[in-house]
Amino acid sequence: MFAFVRFGDDETENYYELEQPVYPFDPSRLRDLGSDGEQADSLWQTNVQVGADRVTLNPINVVFASLNDVKLQRDRAINEGEATVNERFTVAAANSPPGATVTVRGQPSIQDVRTMVLGVRNGSGGLAVVDTVSIWFNELRATGYDEAGAASGFLTATLGLADVASVNARLSFTQDGFGELGGALGGRNFSSETAFTLTSQFSAHKLLPERYGWQIPVSFSLTQNESTPRFDPDNGDVRLSDLVDAARGDTEGDAEAPELVDSVRPEAILERAQTATSSTNFRVSASKSGSRSPWLRYTIDGLTASYTLSNQGGRNPSSRFRSNDSWTGNLAYRVTVPRPLTVRPFWLLGGVPVARDVLGAAQARVSSSRRSSWVATRAGASTRRCSTRTTQTSRRPTCHPTPLASSLTSPTGSMATTRETPSRVTDSKSWAART
């Protein structure tokens, strides 16, 4: 007689299963046992003397890490043509009573457990078939949490050169498993993260005499972020480190086929699972004021020019490459007339008594209501040119069930990795002018 525990996304196609023999007890022996502890050991078959050791027979202990190991073995067997994803793959369970096995079928994930089945079945090769049995399942609980600690920190630096230039840099990191002192285990980080930020300011006009009146500020910023998850994104309960170790062992064995090694290097597996982003921005503007020459005052002093260049890029498990480049240029002209020129078209009628009174009254009303329409004190014009270009290369998973199966070498020497879709490039330009 065997008892089993099955859990996964469903009951029949995607699940893990742990099966082990059931060792019955003799109820008549309970009267001969004195302490409650001895009775409990007899009832649940714990601390049973087997040879020189004491073992636990009936309790079912599911070690989640062993489930991941079985899935990795199944994926290797699939790649070697010895198993399929839709069949039960069974191996002996480690750290379990004799006869216990672990089975995996489909694509189960501990992070997506929707059903759990507890049951019994007759084992094969027994002396007799049991028709009636009573089994108690008691105290379903989780123990042995991963309480490994981690660290987080940052480093900042500031460099200043008087009022000419300044540079600020910040480097931070957070290791997998880091969390607040008062936080729960579920609130800890499930990824290792690094971030770098650099900002700089440069006043180029400080290198010129102040009497020239130039303003030429230049700014530059750089931001980079990278995140490495604990679990493989395509297979939620398989640790990324296990995939890397498995690939490292396989590449060491494939030294005679260097053309296949590049596709299964540990660095390639990490690159596929990581999420990285980067951003750079550059901006410069120029303007001038305070010219003594009237010609410069109404030409160069009225101009303001600026140029901005930016790039955003990154990669993630679904996109191998993504880049967005854009630039913008602005040119504006604005001039202020300190003493506007006025026009008096009816000045010849100023000496006529009746016409003088009528024109004076009309001029007063027009000047008070629409003075800005008659006298121009400020004029300006601007133009803007911009361009944006976006490039993206996407990943598509192969038909293999897990990333490990898609990265290992088959006996025939064929290789299956992620396929790239054609790059998508979008280029847009615009031009605008206003006065």
Residue pLDDT, tens place only, 191-248: 999 999 999 999 999 999 998 899 999 999 999 999 999 988 887 788 888 888 877 7
Q: Which of 92, 117, 97 is nearest to 46 (CA)?
A: 97
d(CA 103, CA 327): 57
**Beta strands, E only, 77-203:** 89-92, 101-105, 115-121, 152-161, 165-174, 191-203
In DSSP terms, 323 is beta-bridged to 313, 391
d(CA 111, CA 230): 13
List, in order, residues 6 or more apart from 298 with CB less than 8 Å away: 335
Q: Which of 98, 114, 102, 30 is nearest to 65 (CA)?
A: 102
Q: Can you give the pLDDT at residue 35?
A: 64
Q: Can you give the pLDDT at residue 365?
A: 53
List, in order, residues 6 or more apart from 145 with CB less than 8 Å away: 185
Tokens of 206: 């400080």
How far lies 311's CA from each of 105, 206, 280, 365, in Å? 45, 28, 5, 57
The β-bridge relationship of strands 48-50 and 53-55 is antiparallel
Work out the pLDDT band at 161, boundaries 50, 70, 90. very high
Are 404 and 83 within 8 A, CB to CB? no
Q: Which of 319, 334, 312, 336 is nearest to 388 (CA)?
A: 312
In DSSP terms, 258 is beta-bridged to none
- The three-class DSSP label of residue 82 is coil
Q: Give the torsion sign (CA, 57, 58, 59, 64).
A: positive
Q: Can you give the pLDDT at residue 421?
A: 44
Q: Which of 278, 182, 171 is nearest to 222 (CA)?
A: 278
Check residues 237 and 349 and name the one with the higher pLDDT: 237
Are 22 and 44 within 8 A, CB to CB? no
d(CA 188, CA 177): 5
Residue ranges in 22-83 assigned as alpha helix (H):
36-44, 64-79
Are 103 and 16 within 8 A, CB to CB? yes
Phi, psi of 34, deg, nearest 5? -80, -60
Highest mean pLDDT range out of 65-79, 261-275, 278-292?
Answer: 278-292
d(CA 194, CA 313): 16
Q: Can you give the pLDDT at residue 2?
A: 87
SS3 content of the chain, % helix, strand, coil (to 5): 25, 40, 40
Work out the pLDDT band at 46, boundaries 50, 70, 90. confident
Work out the pLDDT band at 374, boundaries 50, 70, 90. very low
Highest mean pLDDT range out of 43-52, 252-261, 310-319, 353-362?
Answer: 310-319
Q: Cβ of 117: how many Cβ atoms within 10 Å?
A: 13
Q: Which of 77, 371, 19, 404 is nearest to 243 (CA)?
A: 404
**Is a pLDDT exceeding 60 seen at residue 291?**
yes
Work out the pLDDT band at 142, boundaries 50, 70, 90. confident
- Four-CA torsion 157, 158, 159, 162, nearest 10 degrees: -170
Q: Give the torsion sign (CA, 170, 175, 181, 185).
A: positive
The pTM score is 0.69
d(CA 213, CA 2): 91
Residue listed under structure tokens 């996109």: 319
Buried b (16+ CB within 10 A) or exposed e, 9-19: eeeeebbbbbb
